[in-house]
Structures are given as C-alpha cells and as structure tokens.
C-alpha cells in the first residue's frame, strides 16, 4: 500500500487538471482597534497591512498546484481593477491564465475581510451575482471546447460558488465532452445548479447542501439515512460516486451500493476556511491517479483536516499529506 500511495503522489506531478467555476479575490486588511468612532458606535481600525489572495475556484487551482499538478482555471472575470489584480496573482504564482476570459460586462468578485488581533470584524463583498448571458455562455463554451481539444486533462473540477460562471448548458457540454474522452468529472456544488450535474463522476456536497438538495431533514450522524439520501441523489444525477463532507464527522462516500464513513482525525482546529476546496482538489488528483474511491476519500479527508490546522485559507502541504496518508494506511495494515 505504501508503494501504491507514494506512486500516486508522484503521479500528481504529471497531471493537468481543468478547474471551471467562480474565481475571486480574497482581500485582507489587518490592523488594530483602539477607539470607537465619534460618528457612530463602530470601531475604528488603523490598517497596518493589506494583502490580496486568489480565492473561490482559484483556491482549488492553488491546491492542485501545491500537489504538483498543473491547474488550468477557466472562468470569466471583469475587465476591471479586480481582474487585473487576479491576473497578477496568477503570474506571481507562476500559473497559467490561458483559461481566463475577460469581459467588460462582468465584475470581478472581491471579498475583503477586516481583521484585528486575529478577530474577524467585518467582510465586504464586491460582486454581481448573475448567470452568464447567452452570448457570454457561447464564448465560454467555445473557449472550453478549444481547451479540451488542445490539451489532455486528467480530471475536470466544477467549483461552483453560485456567482454565475457555471450554467446548465456549460455543465452539459463539459460532461458530454469529458465522457467521450474518458476524463473524470468532480463537482463541489452550490444551490443554483445542484441538480444540473447529470452524469458526473464524483459529486461532493456538504451535509447542509445534500439536505437542501434532496429536501430531506437528516440527523447528522445517521449514516443509514444519509445513505438513502445519497442513493436518491445518485439516481437523480446519474453520478458514479457521492462524497459528503461532514465537518467534525469526516467524510461519507458511497460505493457499489454500500457506504463508508471516514472519521475526522483529532486535531487542533484553527480555521475551517477553504477546507472544502482542498478536499475536492485532492480528490481530483487522487481519482486521476486511479486510486480506489475509498482511498480517494481517505486522502481527501486527511487533507481537509490538515488545512484546518492553519489560520486562513492556505493550500495543502503535499509532503505533510503524504506522510500522514502513509501512516494512516500503515496503522490500518492496508
């Protein structure tokens, strides 16, 4: 098993993963609060540091890159200051912008967090949430068609944040093309397109999303009931696998009519931000390495826990993940 896992991690370096979805900028303002405004009962923060990071679907790209694979992100951003910042961030990370489309009719999403003494005081969102127009959708599909014809992708990830970059027509086109080319497709869904991902390989909702998506009131920890819900979802979507993230209860995965629950490791949780992005990224690379779905779920679960030990949204540490994965399987004598 150790040799199998180590080979899979080595194979990550040869992979190219296409990430389709809503990229954005996570902007941070750090400072200190030492007085209240005389204009209103609100704190005044003296800003000492600012930083911009790639967020949303771009965080999936960062995790894939951290695993050693090449990430090609396909998204439509605005022809604005935010869009220019996003492209500079890509260049800084030595990542390609070949999948990025720019439109003067869209606005680049920026989420600004104001933090003082490690306390999150405020978040300001600058965004316009609406689906691509028919013309934008056509441009997007043509661009995807060219990417799929000109490159050999090992997996495709839909990273949906409900900002409008993913539409039912785009989903249908990509899944059809991927099926023809035998490319696994993975989905990190949100509400708007939840039931539009027909025929995907792996569908990864969190607990709340699956409850809302199948309109069933589930009790967390009732895995038999959760299995019934995933069966409903699998039949509705025609998905091969459904993997549900359960926060402190780990990960739940269906396989050939049965299910497995991988409990979360005991950790010092510092921040859960971005854990879902890490889980889908690791799952994509692991699935592309032809690991079993149970191995995929185990590794993705460990990765989600590891990033929760860090403050802020940070990519996975590949070496730390490999070490923990090998130790995990060794302990189980697999």
Quick: pLDDT tens for 241-273. Answer: 999 998 878 889 987 777 888 776 654 444 445
Contact 239, 202 (CB under 8 A): yes
Give pTM, 2 decimals. 0.92
Calculate the alpha carbon distances from 282 to 37, 187, 197 in Å. 45, 13, 20
What's the pLDDT at 263? 74
d(CA 276, CA 57): 11
**What's the CATH code of the domain at 92?**
3.40.1190.20
**How many domains is the chain built from?**
1
d(CA 189, CA 199): 14
Pairing of strands 202-203, 241-245: parallel
DSSP-derived secondary structure for 210-256: HHHHHT----TT-HHHHHHHHHHHHHHHT-SEEEEE-GGG-EEEEET
d(CA 194, CA 44): 41
Q: pLDDT tens for residues 109-152?
A: 999 999 998 788 999 999 989 999 999 999 999 999 999 999 99
211 domain-assigned? yes
Residue 165 DSSP symbol:
S
38 domain-assigned? no
Calculate the alpha carbon distances from 196 to 16, 166, 237, 238 in Å. 25, 10, 7, 11
Only one residue has tokens 């910042």, namely: 85
Tokens encoding 142: 């043509």
225 domain-assigned? yes
Calculate the alpha carbon distances from 332 to 100, 194, 234, 326, 327 in Å. 43, 36, 29, 10, 9
**234: Cα within 13 Å, side-chain hemisphere:** 20
44 domain-assigned? no
204 domain-assigned? yes
Tokens encoding 106: 């869209």
What's the pLDDT at 271? 41
Does residue 7 sit in helix, strand or coil? Answer: helix
- Please identify which of the residues 11, 26, 160, 277 carries the catalytic annotation: 277
Select from 293, 319, 288, 291 the least CA-distant residue to 5: 291
317 Cβ partners below 8 Å, 6+ apart?
Answer: 66, 306
277 assigned to active site? yes
What's the pLDDT at 72? 97
Calculate the alpha carbon distances from 179 to 99, 203, 229, 327 in Å. 20, 15, 25, 35
pLDDT tens over the chain, length 334 residues: 667 888 999 999 999 999 999 999 999 999 999 899 999 999 999 999 999 999 999 999 999 999 999 999 999 999 999 999 999 999 999 999 999 999 999 999 999 999 998 788 999 999 989 999 999 999 999 999 999 999 999 999 999 999 999 999 999 999 999 999 999 999 999 989 999 999 999 999 999 999 988 888 888 888 889 999 999 999 999 999 999 998 878 889 987 777 888 776 654 444 445 577 889 999 999 999 999 999 999 999 888 878 666 555 667 889 889 988 888 777 765 5
**Which domain does 293 fall in, by range?**
2-24+53-331
Tokens encoding 98: 């070949």
43 domain-assigned? no
């Amino acid at each position: 098993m150790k040799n199998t896992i180590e080979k899979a991690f080595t194979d990550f370096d040869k992979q190219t993963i296409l990430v389709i979805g809503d990229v954005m900028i996570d902007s941070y303002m750090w400072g200190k609060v030492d007085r209240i405004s005389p204009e209103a009962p609100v704190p005044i923060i003296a800003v000492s540091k600012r930083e911009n990071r790639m967020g949303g679907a771009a965080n999936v790209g960062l995790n894939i890159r951290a695993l050693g694979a090449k990430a090609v992100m396909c998204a439509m951003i605005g022809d604005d200051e935010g869009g220019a910042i996003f492209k500079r961030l890509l260049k800084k990370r030595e990542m390609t912008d070949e999948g990025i489309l720019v439109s003067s009719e869209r606005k680049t999403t920026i989420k600004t967090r104001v933090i003082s003494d490690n306390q999150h005081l405020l978040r300001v969102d600058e965004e316009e949430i609406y689906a691509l127009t028919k013309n934008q959708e056509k441009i997007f599909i043509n661009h995807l068609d060219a990417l799929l014809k000109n490159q050999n992708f090992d997996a495709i990830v839909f990273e949906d944040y409900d900002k409008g970059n993913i539409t039912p027509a785009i989903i249908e086109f990509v899944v059809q093309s991927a099926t023809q080319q035998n490319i696994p497709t993975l989905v990190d869904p949100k509400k708007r397109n939840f039931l539009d991902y027909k025929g995907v390989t792996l569908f990864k909702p969190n607990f709340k999303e699956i409850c809302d998506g199948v309109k069933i009131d589930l009790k967390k920890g009732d895995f038999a009931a959760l299995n019934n819900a995933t069966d409903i979802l699998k039949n509705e979507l025609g998905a091969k696998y459904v993997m549900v993230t359960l926060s402190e209860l780990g990960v739940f995965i269906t396989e050939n009519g049965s299910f497995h629950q991988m409990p979360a490791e005991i950790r010092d949780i510092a921040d859960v931000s971005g854990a879902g992005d890490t889980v889908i990224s690791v799952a994509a690379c692991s699935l592309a390495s032809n690991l079993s779905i149970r191995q995929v779920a185990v590794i993705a679960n460990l990765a989600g826990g590891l990033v929760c030990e860090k403050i802020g949204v940070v990519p996975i540490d590949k070496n730390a993940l490999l070490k923990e994965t090998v130790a995990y399987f060794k302990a189980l004598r697999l």
